[in-house]
Structure formats: structure tokens, C-alpha cells
Structure 1
Amino acid sequence: MFRTVWSKTLRAYRTPLLSWGIGLAFILLATLATFGSTASQMADSMNQLAQTFRFIGDPIALNTATGFATWRSLDLVIPVMLSIWAIMAGTNLIQGEEERTALELLLATSTSRLRLLLEKLYALVLALVIIGVLIGSGAIAGLASAKLDFDAGRALLAGLNVSLLAFFYASLALLFSQLFPGRKVATSWTIGLLALFTLLDSTGRIVQHGEWMQYLSPNYYYSINKPLINTYDNHPLAALLLLIISLLLCTLSAWLFMQRDLGASIFQRLNLHIGTKNSAQSSSEVLAKAWHDSSLRSVGLRTLTALAISISTWLISLILYIAWMISLTPSFLGIMKDLVSKSPTLSQIFNGQNVVTNSGFIGYAVFSFVPLLTVIFVFTLALQWAKDLDNGRLELILSTPQARLRVLGEHITVVLLTSLLTVILIWLSTLVSAQLINIRVDAGKIAAAAFGIWPLELIIVTGVYACAVRLRSSAILTVIALYLAWAYLTEFLRSVLNTPDWLMSLSIFHAYGTPILDGWKWGPNLVMLGVAIVLLLLALFQFKRVDIDRGN
């Protein structure tokens, strides 16, 4: 059906393309439709707020809907979120099929390596362009719903500007995938640079005489263009520079791809030339080495080893984010009190949270976002089980004298223990950070806010395992990603959406509530734990009885 590499690759992107495109478009639409019309009524307060949170972005024309939406959504949130997907797509572009040993089949045809890479890049660029158009369409829909004048061309350019930054990070990820062995290593390095570049851009914006830091970050060359704001003078040369750098990274990646062996990074290829003894190991030596490898002695240990890089990257990132946000509390709390007292309308923006107290500010800055990030983290870990089923990796394991329930149980145990470790580290990092900067918090409510995340994790994790036997990983990704987007946005915008109570009760984030202000609630948490137990039993029952016939 698909006669070209690019069309097959684009087809593989159809689910994330629609999910990310529509999801990010809805965020921009909701920002414009909900808050844009009130921006002019509280211009002074919004300018003070934006100056306080200047690390998010430059406050330009905040008395307009487009200026407010650019500062709140387009300067930081949307580009970072799309860049994360672009990084994963960039590392998967070549290394994904290498790890599945599917690339050899493609290269066995008359398709050259260069053409293969160019067609895959073309599909990725096309997917990013479509996502950019969807984001721009969300801006148009938001402005139209608010009955405000808009320029459709500028709205689409704003979406494409986001796609350009995401393409840069995809190109960087593609380069690292040629330099380092393993897709996860390349992904971790690129996400680390994304965090570094974001920090450089934000720090250069708020530190006196620190503008030079911004010049080192590609985020700066993205953010100095704000097409959505009619009165802003854009800098097309900055976008051109970002595009040229991205193309140079792609060119270097193509050259490296044509030089190296499949299954080996360029560094590994250099090591092979330096020391040939290791490359000449006999099969008995390889088997002896594997036999003494402790990580291969059980499914649980192997799962932990395979996921170690992802787990450590996520946990370190969560701890740093929590520490950073809590460190802002003393300097921002007085300003927040002044702003909220002068403009009650701001309470709508902060979803009614009591942001004028230590606990309220930490609840908004940390525990409004960390539950979503944590759930996404454990979701990616559990989804690896479904991917292993898709790729036929369990047949060999099940051919050994191991019970099915033990194989599944060890994998689930690793993910569940990781989810528990995550909430413990969230709890400890919050308490320690607050202690270090000497602010008073209620330790009991901090514990409730941290450990209240665990039932959310359990529902998503067990839901993945329950669906894995019947559905492919792509279908599970679509269903759960759409549910998480709906559940979070419904709770995040509950004060303006007027969603019926029965529908709100289906959102796990609504069930989570605000425990840092209200304390632990046994009812919702016990219900979520009960649902998770039912899903876990369903997963175990299905895997024990259903044939495994999903291998490619």
C-alpha cells in the first residue's frame, strides 16, 4: 500500500501528529477564549505578574489577547512540549528501526542510505508542519470564539514557528542517535540540552547583564519572533539562522549514518578500529559474559536495567523542577499577594487556589503540574511492556521454564516500585527544599499532596497492562494520551468550563484535588485504588489465558 519510505513513516506519525497537534491547539484555544477577553480589564496587574514571571517569556502587549496567549502558552509551554515529542521522533528515526532489526530489510532493497534518511526526514518535517498548522488553527479558533479580530496568516506563522524550534531539537536528537549507542542515551542527552537551553534563555531574561546567555540558546532565536502579535516587529533572520543550523545538523547526521555500521554508533566504530580484540570474541565468550551478567538473571532485573536511563532522567528532572519552583516562593509570594488583592479576576486564572500562602503557591507552582508529569512518566514505563509484545520479544522469554504470571509480575513490580519511589522523592524534595530556604509548610499536607499522586499512577499503569494483551501499543498510546489530555484540561479549566459533576468525577486529576490545601481524602483515593486493583487482576487473568500472537 505504501510505496515510499516517507509515506510509511508519515503513517506511523498519524497518532502523535493528531494527539499533539490537537492537544496543543486546544491549549492555545482555551488560553485565548478564556483569558484573552479579560486581559484588557486587568492590564496593570497582568504586566506586574508577567514581570514577576519574566523567566516564562518577554511580556509583550499583555493588554491584548494575542500578547497574553503568546506569553502564557507560546513562549515556553507549547514549544517545550512539542520539542519533547520531536526529540523522541528524532532518535527513533533511524535507531528505532535499527533496534528492531528492521532497517536491514529496507537497505536490502535498492534504496540508498542517504535516500532512506532524507525520506524519513521529509516525513518528520511534514508531520511538524501539520502540527504547526493545527496549532495556528487553534489560535484562529480561540480568537474567533472570543469575537476578536485576527490575522489568519500570523496565527499560522506562530504555529509554524513552534514547529521550527521542534525541528531543531529533532535534528539534534538525530545527530546524537548517530554518536551514541542506544536510543535512550541519545534521548536523554538531547532532553538534557533542551533543559539547559531553556534555563539559559530564562536566566538571561531575568538576570541583570545576563543577556549574553540567551544568545547561546536556540530558544532565544525562536522567542524573538512573535507572529501572533500584530504590533510586534519580528526577526526573520533569526528563524533563518535556526533553520540553517537544523539543516547542518541533519547534513552531519547523514554523513555519519553513511559512515558507520548498522547497530553501532560512530564512537563504537572508532573503538573497533582501535581495539579489534573485543570484536573477535567467540560465541562461547559472549555467552559466558552474558551468563555472569547479573542484569540477565531475572525479568525484573533486566527491566530495571533497560529502563534505568529513563528512570534516572525523569527523577532528576522532577527533583530539580520542584527545588527550582520552591526556591521562587519567598520572592514571589509578596508580589502575588499584592496582585490578587488588586485584581480578584486573577483568582480565576489560578483556578481558585490560595496562591497568597506558602502552601497555596507551592500547590499551584508544583502540584498543579507534577502529578501530570509523574503520570506521563510511569505511563511511558508501562507502555514498554506493550511495545515488547508488539515486537515479539516475549516469545523467547516464555520458552524458558518461567510462569507467565511471574514474567508479567516482575515487570509490573519494577514499574510499581518506581512509581512509589517517585512519590517518595517528590515528598522529600519538597520538604527539603522548603527547609533549605526556611519557609514554613504543613508537613502532613505535603505528604498528602505527594502520596496522593500514587493512586493516579496506579490507575494508568494497571490500565496499560490490562489493555496490552488486546491492543497494540499505538492504540494504547492514543487512548490513554487522549484521556490524560481531557482529564487534565477539564480539571485545569474547571472554573470556566462548567463541566457537569458526573463528568468531572471521571477525571483522575479532579479526584486528586488540592490535597496540599485540603489534606488527604480517603474516599476518592480508595476508589482509585480499587479501580487499579481491578485493572491489575484483569491484566493478570488475561495474560495467563490469551495467546501471544502479536509479534511482527
Structure 2
Amino acid sequence: MSETARYEVERRIRGSIVLTAAISLYSAFIVWYFTVLEGVNTEEVFEELPPAMVDAFGIESLSTIEGFLGAQIFNFVWLLGLGLYFAYMGGGIIASEIESERIDVLLSFPISRSQLFLEKFASILFPILVVNTVGGVAIYGLVLAVDESIDLTHLLLAHVLSIPYLLVCAGIGGVFSVAVNRTSVAEKGAVGVVFVLYLIESIVGGADEYDWIQYLSPTQYYEPTPVLIDGTFEFIDSAILLVTLLGLLLLGQIIFSRRDL
């Protein structure tokens, strides 16, 4: 790991701890709430909801711990919350340096613009790994603590498969970060795009005449609830996300290398 990447990772340690702790506390509440609802026919509550809303929140089976976690934690926190968070984080990797005028100092070192962009982006992988590793252990422990059971392989897959998705969200932020000078514009632009893509896949994509449009959204390629329930997933979906990530990184490098600063 180079000095730039190491420095950026060290800067993200505290934020990663706070983020992971917050998600673990929320997960504890959700697992506890599942035990409170024991004996309640939760499926009837959602029977009258629009199909688009059911799809948006990944509601498949709220009577099982896997389905409940999928709807209340993974589709809400991992798919939407963390997707927006890492898009926001990606939006600041270069734009913040340009806005603060530190970019000239950084580029005075023996490092190319492409390498600087890639190393600062690579530091985002650290909080992604931390939140998935510690968060996954916390969720598994919480489920066992309330005398429920969940397939450890399925839970592990749900976390591992989220990594390409979250990196794509961060990649969208990275492209904004090298395209504009103001950090707030880059961060808000990235968050806006990821949120709109989420809405496109979950709502607009549910209409037959617009079925094709859902494939533009990264959320189309990460569906945690089926993974948690029965381990169902497609390798091609993760491959598409990885190819998309490579495309975003290449685009970011091209824009950054050709910009006048």
C-alpha cells in the first residue's frame, strides 16, 4: 500500500468505527423487534401495499428472520443507506482537494493524477470491508442471542456480494469528484444519481413498458433478500457490477488527467 492510500485509510478509521457501531445498534433493534412480532401475521400487513413498494424494500417473507433482516436491514441499510453513504464519500476524494487548493501540493509529489485518483478511491474499500465484516459478525451473533438461526453461508454471501455494489456507488461519486471543483456539488450529485437509480429500479422498472430501464441501476444486480433466504444469486450480476466499476474508474482517470486545475 502506498503512502497516499495508507494515509487515506488512517483518516477513515474513526468514521468506519462510528458507522459500524451505528449499524450494529440498528441491527440489534431490528432483531429484537422481530422477537416482539413473534406470533403476529406480518404478511397480512403488506398484502395491500403496491407491488413497487414491496419490491423496493425487498419484502418476501417477514415471518422468517432471513426475510425480516433482508427487508429491514439489507434492503434499507446496505442497499440504500450505505449506497448513498459511499456515493457521498466518493464524491469528496478529489473535489475536496481541489476546493481546498491542496491538489497542487499533492501533484507536486512523484505521483500521477491517475495514481492519485486510484489510491484515494482504494481507501474507500477499507470502511466497506469493516462494515461488512464487523456488521456481519454482529448480525449473526444477535440472531443467535435471540434463539433464532440463520444460514451462515447465506449471510456471508449477502455481505460479500454487497462489496461490488457499494464500490460502484462509490465509483459514481468518484466520477463526480473529478468532474467538478466544489465538494458539496460532487457529493450531492453522486447521492442524487444513486438515489434516482434506486427509484428507477424499484419503482419505474416495475412497469412492463419500462422494464428495460431497471438494468441501468446497480441495485438491479444486488438483491440481498433472496440470498439470505435460500442463497439464490447470479454470478453474472456481480460480474456486471465489477465491469461497471472498472468503467467508472477508467472514466474518472480520463476526466481527471485531462482537466485544467
Distance 2:143 2:66 in 1: 10
- What is residue 316 of structure 1 aligned with on the other side? 21
Q: 2:168 aligns with which of 427, 442, 459?
A: 459
Q: Which residue of 1 aligns with 2:248?
A: 535
> Does the residue aligned with 2:47 lie in a helix, a strand or coil?
coil
In structure 1, the partner of 2:81 is 373
Partner of 1:517: 229
Shift of residue 317, structure 1, vs aligned partner? 0.8
* Deviations, residues 338-371 of structure 1 (Å, cap 9, x unaligned): 2435873258564452112221111111112112
Please state how far the C-alpha of 1:437 moved relative to its aligned partner. 1.6
Query: Relative contact order (alpha carbons < 8 A, sep ≥ 6): 1 or 2 greater?
Result: 2
Return the index of the structure with the highest Cα Rg: 1
Q: Which residue of 2 is the match for residue 32 of structure 1?
A: none
Residue 507 of structure 1 deviates from its aligned partner by 2.0
> Contact 1:445–1:520 (CA<8 Å) still a contact in 2?
no
Shift in Å, 1:439:
0.6
For 1:308 and 1:318, the matched residues in 2 are separated by: 16
The match for 2:92 is 384
Aligned counterpart, 1:439? 148
Q: Which residue, 476, 482, 502 being the options, matches 2:186?
A: 476
In the alignment, which residue of structure 2 is the partner of 1:325? 30
Preserved contact between residue 445 and residue 517 of structure 1 (Cα < 8 Å): yes
SS at match of 2:233: coil
1:498 CA displacement: 5.8
SS of 2:75 mapped into structure 1: coil
Query: Within 1, Cα distance between the matches of 2:46 and 2:169?
Result: 38
TM-score (normalised: structure 2): 0.82
Q: Secondary structure at the match of 1:315?
A: helix
Structure 1 residues 401 and 484: alpha-carbon distance in aligned structure 2, compared to 1, 3 A threshold? closer
Q: Does 1:424 align with 2:133?
A: yes
CA distance in 1 between partners of 2:63 and 2:204 (Å): 20
- State the distance in 1 between where 2:128 and 2:72 align: 21
Deviates more, 1:376-385 or 1:338-347: 338-347
Structure 1: state its 5+ residue gaps: 1-296
Give the counterpart of 1:395 among 79, 104, 113. 104
Aligned to 1:409: 118
Superposed, 1:470-509 pairs within 5 Å as: 470-472=179-181, 473-493=183-203, 500-509=210-219
| CA–CA separation in structure 1 for the residues paired with 2:200 and 2:220 | 8
Could you tell me which amino acid in structure 2 is paired with residue 345 of structure 1? E
Judge conservation of contact 2:43–2:61 (CA < 8 Å) in 1: no
Q: How many residues align?
A: 250
Aligned 8 A contact 2:27 2:73 in 1: yes
8 Å contact 2:19–2:131 — kept in the other structure? no
Distance 1:484 1:303, change over 3 A: same
1:354 is matched with 61
RMSD between aligned residues: 2.8
| Maintained 8 Å contact 1:307/1:381 | no
1:131-150 equivalences in 2 (<5 Å): none
State the alpha-carbon separation in 1 of the partners of residues 205 and 259 from structure 2.
47
Which position in structure 2 is the counterpart of 1:287? none
Cα distance in 1 for partners of 2:46, 2:210 equals 28
Q: Which amino acid aligns with 1:317?
A: A
SS at match of 2:147: coil
Structure 2: segments with no counterpart, 5+ residues = none
* SS of equivalent residue, structure 2 residue 121: helix
Change (3 A) 1:474 1:319: same
Question: Which amino acid in 1 is paired with 2:13?
Answer: A
For residues 356-395 of structure 1, the C-alpha deviation after alignment (integer angstroms, 9 at most, x for no partner) is: 2221111111112112111222223222222212222121
CA drift at 1:419: 1.6
Determine the C-alpha separation between the residues in 1 that align with 2:125 and 2:45.
46
d(CA) in 2 for partners of 1:333 and 1:491? 32
1:499 positional shift = 6.8
Residues 1:303 and 2:8 are matched in the alignment: yes
Distance in 1 (CA, whole Å) between partners of 2:251 and 2:45 is 53
CA distance in 1, matches of 2:132, 2:191: 21
| CA 425–393 in structure 1, closer or farther in 2 if over 3 Å, else same | same
Residues 225-264 of structure 1: CA deviation (Å, up to 9, x unaligned): xxxxxxxxxxxxxxxxxxxxxxxxxxxxxxxxxxxxxxxx
Give distance in 1, aligned partners of 2:42 and 2:85. Answer: 34
Judged with a 3 Å threshold, the aligned counterparts in structure 2 of structure 1 residues 459 and 377 are, in CA distance, closer, same or farther, namely same
Deviation at 1:504, TM superposition (A): 1.4
Q: Decide whether the 8 Å contact of 1:329 with 1:358 is kept in 2.
A: yes
Describe the shift of the 1:355–1:495 C-alpha distance in structure 2 as closer, same or farther (beyond 3 A): farther
CA distance in 2, matches of 1:325, 1:547: 47
CA distance in 1, matches of 2:179, 2:22: 33
Change (3 A) 1:431 1:474: same
Amino acid at match of 2:76: F
CA distances 1:86-112 after superposition (whole Å, capped 9, x unpaired): xxxxxxxxxxxxxxxxxxxxxxxxxxx
Shift of the alpha carbon at 1:428? 1.9
1:234 maps to none
Whether the aligned pair in 1 keeps the contact of 2:67 and 2:229 (CA below 8 Å) is yes
